[in-house]
Each structure stands twice: as C-alpha cells, then as structure tokens.
Amino acid sequence: MDTRIAIRDFLVSRRTRLRPQDVGMPPPAGQRRVPGLRREEIAALAHVSVDQYVRLERGQASRVSDAVIDAVATALRLTPAEHRYLHALARPAPPPPRSTAARGPVRPSVQCFLDSLRAAPAYLVGHGGTVLAWNRLATRVFLDFAELPEDRRTLGWMIFTDPRAREMYVDWPLKAREVAAFLRCELGRHPHDPELTRQIEQLRCYSQEFDALWRSHGVIELSHGVTRARTRVGVVELCREILRLAGEPGEFVILHTPATPEAAAVLATLEAPDTD
C-alpha cells in the first residue's frame, strides 16, 4: 500500500464528513464549493499552519511532527482507532518478521484451551484475519474451517465470498462493515505486507460490497460485542470477547458465550454428540 495515498484519502474522507456547525463554526451563508471542512479550517482547529496540514494530507508525514498528527486527529474528531490508524500510516512499521504462510503450528496449549471451551464457540485469528485454530462448537455455530482452502481461511474471504456467511450472520451488513474496517486497521499496521495487500486487492475485485466498504475508509479494532447467528436449531445470541494471545503479537481468540439461557440451550444442543 502506498501510505502517501492512504493518508491523503483517509484525511480527505474525514474532513469531508464534518460540517462547520459540527465543530462550533457558524453554518455557511451560501453553497460551499466542497463538502465538509476546508483545509484551512482544519488547520485552524488543530492550531497548526495550513502548510503543515497540507503536507500531512499530501502524505508527506515525515515532514510533520507527531504533535501535528495528534492535533489534526483531535481537530478531525477521530476515534481512538482512527487516530492510531493515522499514526500507523504516518510512521509505518516494517513488514512482520514472518508471513502468514510461514507461521509455525499453533501451540498445543492454545488448542487445548480452545477445546476445553465446551459451551463456547471460539477460534484463533492471526495476522490479516487468518483463522488459525478453532474448537468443535465453532464449526457447529459458524463454518467448518477445516473445509476451507488454507489461502481462503480468513475473515475477509469467509464474510464476503462464502454465501453461507450471509445466511449464518443475522446482522451480516454489520459484520461485513466490521471485517472491512478491521482489515483496513490491519493494513495500517503493516502497510508493506505483500500477502495482506494481495488479499485486499483480490477481495475488492471479487466483492463489490467489500470494495464499497473499503472506499468508505472505515477503521475498527475488533472488540467485544454481540453476534447473532442462525444455526440448524435456531438463532443464537452470543456475547463476543477478544482475548489477546501472549507471545504471539497480532493474534487473538474470538470467544463467544451465550447471551441468554435460550442461547445456552441452543449451544448445548449443538455440542451434543451426533447420533444416527
């Protein structure tokens, strides 16, 4: 990814979503030539020079200080995740020391932990949204990840190209926005990662919905929430938590626990051994 273009497009998208009245300025007297705030208005709100802001929006982040980046983030009312994304683009990290394909096997203790969660579907996610490991109940509630080709065993490919995902997730549009925004956040952390860049380029070609979401520049760091999934025995409402994995930067377990007694009953049915 060209970080200069990414910074430019992101900042333009964020200043065009703000109106003067949103930031305490009087509403415009007439029709403005451009939507949102002008560059000089953002610079004034950030208490930086117009030249400094223009440098940043042109992607010349090496020519501005961290203080300027932080001030602009505040002026644009960026969320904490968006602020971190902008900073990551401005100060890009080197490529990860190993690619997703070169990752070693999942630690036996991690797989044992997943398997011990008999009443909670859970799976391990790595760099670029790759699903690395899972427990039995996750395959009953979501997909049998083992059936997916390894190069397509990612959150992006599953959500946007597998038709089962649209049926499985009750709130598929919300899930799609979350995953697209998560991948943008991932690319912000590793803008020069060739595998992640290739995945995103392919998804933009395969899915018009992903392409539209990508162009909206949404940024989300996956966090706790609620997931509603359709299963063979009914809809189940699950509380989602993110558990970071010690010793493996960028890897985390997505743990789902029943949100209601009814959900617990559905999971118990799904976990029960198959009978002929």
Q: Which residues contact 145 (CB under 8 A, 6 or more apart)?
A: 123, 131, 134, 138, 139, 153
Instruction: Return the pLDDT at 46.
Output: 95
In the structure, what pLDDT confidence band is assigned to residue 196 with cuts at 50, 70 and 90?
Answer: very high
Output 260 or 35, whichever has higher pLDDT.
Answer: 260
Instruction: Return the pLDDT at 275.
Output: 53
Q: Nearest to residue 240, comparing CAs of 220, 260, 224, 259? A: 224
How confident is the model over 113-122, as a mean pLDDT? 96
List, as one string, the DSSP characters of 232-247.
Answer: TTEEEEEEEEEEEPTT
- What the block records as the tokens of 117 is 């969660």
Does pLDDT of 75 surpass 90?
yes
Instruction: Return the pLDDT at 273.
Output: 75
Output 221 or 240, whichever has higher pLDDT.
Answer: 240
How confident is the model over 51-77, as a mean pLDDT? 95
| Proportion of the chain above pLDDT 90, given as a percent | 76
How far, in Å, CA of 14 to CA of 263, rounded? 39
In the structure, what pLDDT confidence band is assigned to residue 219 with cuts at 50, 70 and 90?
Answer: very high
List, as one string, the DSSP characters of 83-99.
Answer: HHHHHHHHSPPPPPSS-
How confident is the model over 138-157, as a mean pLDDT? 95
Cα dist from 84 to 6, 29, 188, whole Å: 14, 35, 9
230 contacts 259 by C-beta, under 8 angstroms: no
How confident is the model over 188-206, as a mean pLDDT? 93
In the structure, what pLDDT confidence band is assigned to residue 250 with cuts at 50, 70 and 90?
Answer: confident
Does pLDDT of 95 surpass 70?
no
Which stretch, 34-38, 148-152, 169-173, has highest mean pLDDT?
Answer: 169-173
Instruction: Return the pLDDT at 101.
Output: 46
Q: Nearest to residue 38, comparing CAs of 219, 28, 188, 158? A: 28
How confident is the model over 168-176, as a mean pLDDT? 96
Q: Which domains does the chain have, with CATH numbers?
A: 3-90 (1.10.260.40), 108-271 (3.30.450.180)
Beta bridge partners of 243: 253
